[in-house]
Amino acid sequence: MKVEALIFNLIAVFCFVAALVYGVWSQEPIGTTALALSGGLTVLIGGFFWFVSRRIDARPEDRKDAEIADGAGELGFFSPASYWPITLAAAAGLMGLGVAFWYFWLILIATVALLIAVGGLLFEYYVGQNAQQS
């Protein structure tokens, strides 16, 4: 996580320097504000990564003497075949259309569809034929 924190903090420094230079040269407040806010957001992410990196053990990516084999092993469980992400994307797209055109009935349908899709994705391996046996 230290590498990620360094990357985001360097981007934040660049955004702040660019905001300062842009603000002095152009005297235009909108772009200066956008660059300053971008720097602030990257400071938030970099600070979070730095905060987490102090509390976890060093990963192979963080050690200079690490070998490629140090990063081998199981990374986690990834669903081999699931239709719920497609359903979730369709429901989110439907919600976007409902909000864009401000159709209250479409927003309601999309909300129900989103709740069903999130629930299905969340509980996919806890119920039905894919349930984990304990």
What would the two tokens of residue 93 be? 């797209």
pTM of the model: 0.57
Question: How far does Cα 47 stand from its chain's mean position?
Answer: 15
In degrees and rounded to multiples of 5, residue 48 shows phi and psi of -65, -45
> Which pLDDT score is estimated for 111?
97
Q: Identify the pLDDT of residue 58.
A: 81
pLDDT at 132: 67
Instruction: Give me the torsion for CA of 97, 101, 103, 107, rounded to 10°.
Output: 30
The confidence score (pLDDT) of residue 31 equals 95
The span from the CA of 35 to the CA of 44, in Å, is 14
Handedness of CA 93, 95, 100, 103 (dihedral sign): positive
Q: What is the pLDDT of residue 118?
A: 95
Would you give per-residue pLDDT tens digits along the chain (134 residues)? 888 999 999 999 999 999 999 999 999 999 999 999 999 999 999 999 999 989 988 888 778 888 888 888 887 777 788 899 999 999 999 999 999 999 999 999 999 999 999 999 988 888 777 676 65
> What pLDDT does 133 receive?
66
Cα Rg, the chain, nearest whole Å: 22
What is the model's pLDDT at position 130? 66
